A and B are shown apart, each in its own frame.
Chain A
Amino acid sequence: MQIKAENLNYVYSPKTPFEKTALDNVSFTVNEGDTLGIVGATGSGKSTLTRHLNALIRIQSGKIFLGDVDLSAKRVDLKEVRKKVGMLFQFPEYQLFADTVKKDVEFGPKNFGFGDKEAACAAEDALRSVGLDIKEIGDKSPFELSGGQMRRVAIAGVIASKPEVLVLDEPTAGLDPVGKREILSLVSELKKSFVKTVIIVSHNMDEIAEYCNRVIVLDNGKLIADTTPDELFNRSDVVDNTELDYPHTVKIKRMLSEFGFEIDSPALNVEALVSGILGRLKS
Chain B
Amino acid sequence: MKDITLGQYYPSDSFTHKMDARVKLVLVVAFIVAVFLAKNFLSYIAVAACVICATLVSRIPISKMLKSIKAIIMILIFTGILNLMFYNGETVYWSWWRFNVSLEGIIFSVKMVLRLVLLVMGTTLLTFTTTPTGITDGMESLMSPLKYIKVPVHDIAVIMSIALRFIPILSEEVDKIMMAQKARGASFDTGGLVSRAKALLPILIPLFVSAFRRADELALALDARCYNATPNRTRYQVMKFGWRDLAGVIGTAVFIVLVVALNNNFWGAYQSVEAAWWLFAV
Q: Which residues of A contact B (CB under 8 A)?
A: 12-13, 18, 20, 22, 43, 47-48, 51, 54, 56, 78-79, 82-83, 86-87, 89, 92, 94-98, 107-108, 110-112, 143, 157-158, 161
Instruction: Give chain A residues whose Cβ lies under 8 Å from the Cβ of B3.
Output: 12-13, 18, 20
CA distance A96 to B207 in the complex (A): 10
Interface residues on B, range: 20 to 34
The chain A residue with its CB closest to the CB of B179 is A56
CB distance from A66 to the nearest CB of B (A): 14
Among the listed B179, B203, B205, B209, which residue makes an inter-chain contact with A51, where contact means beta carbons less than 8 Å apart?
B179
Q: Among the listed stretches B112-120, B182-190, B271-279, which one makes contact with chain A, having 4 or more residues with CB under 8 Å of it?
A: B182-190
CA distance A96 to B2 in the complex (A): 23
- Cross-chain contact B183 with A56 (CB below 8 angstroms): yes
CB distance from B277 to the nearest CB of A (A): 44
- 18 pairs across A/B with beta carbons < 8 Å? A12-B1, A12-B2, A13-B3, A18-B3, A22-B1, A43-B1, A51-B179, A79-B185, A82-B183, A83-B185, A89-B180, A95-B180, A95-B206, A107-B181, A108-B184, A111-B185, A111-B186, A161-B184
CA distance A78 to B184 in the complex (A): 11
The chain B residue with its CB closest to the CB of A12 is B1
How many A-B contacts at CB < 8 Å in the complex? 72
Q: Is the interface of B mostly helix, strand, loop or mixed?
A: helix
Instruction: Give chain A residues whose Cβ lies under 8 Å from the Cβ of B183.
Output: 54, 56, 82, 86-87, 89, 158
6 additional A-B pairs beyond A79-B185, A111-B187, beta carbons within 8 Å, are A82-B185, A95-B202, A96-B209, A108-B184, A111-B184, A161-B185
The chain B residue with its CB closest to the CB of A112 is B185
Whether a CB of chain A sits under 8 angstroms from the CB of B194 is no
Instruction: Give chain B residues whose Cβ lies under 8 Å from the Cβ of A22.
Output: 1
Q: Which residues of B contact A (CB under 8 A)?
A: 1-3, 5, 173, 176-177, 179-187, 201-203, 205-206, 209-210
Instruction: Give chain B residues whose Cβ lies under 8 Å from the Cβ of A107.
Output: 181, 184-186, 202
Instruction: Give chain A residues whose Cβ lies under 8 Å from the Cβ of B177.
Output: 94-95
Given A12-B2, A13-B3, A22-B1, A94 and B182 contact (CB-CB distance below 8 Å): no
User: Which of B176, B182, B184, B205: most chain A CB closer than 10 A?
Assistant: B184
CA distance A22 to B181 in the complex (A): 23
Instruction: Give chain A residues whose Cβ lies under 8 Å from the Cβ of B180.
Output: 87, 89, 92, 95
CB distance from A163 to the nearest CB of B (A): 10
CA distance A13 to B177 in the complex (A): 21
CB distance from A209 to the nearest CB of B (A): 27
CA distance A95 to B207 in the complex (A): 8
CA distance A110 to B182 in the complex (A): 13
In the A-B complex, the 8 residue pairs with the smallest Cβ-Cβ separation, listed nearest first, are A111-B185, A97-B205, A108-B184, A87-B183, A95-B180, A18-B3, A89-B180, A97-B202
CA distance A139 to B202 in the complex (A): 18
Instruction: Give chain A residues whose Cβ lies under 8 Å from the Cβ of B179.
Output: 51, 56, 89
CA distance A187 to B186 in the complex (A): 24
CB distance from A49 to the nearest CB of B (A): 12
CB distance from B48 to the nearest CB of A (A): 28
CA distance A56 to B179 in the complex (A): 7
- Cross-chain contact A108 with B185 (CB below 8 angstroms): yes
Instruction: Give chain B residues whose Cβ lies under 8 Å from the Cβ of A108.
Output: 184-185
CA distance A51 to B176 in the complex (A): 11
CB distance from A9 to the nearest CB of B (A): 15
CA distance A274 to B180 in the complex (A): 41
CA distance A43 to B2 in the complex (A): 11
CA distance A43 to B187 in the complex (A): 28
CA distance A87 to B205 in the complex (A): 20
CB distance from A219 to the nearest CB of B (A): 16
- Cross-chain contact B185 with A97 (CB below 8 angstroms): no
- Cross-chain contact A157 with B184 (CB below 8 angstroms): yes
The chain A residue with its CB closest to the CB of B210 is A94
Instruction: Give chain A residues whose Cβ lies under 8 Å from the Cβ of B205.
Output: 97
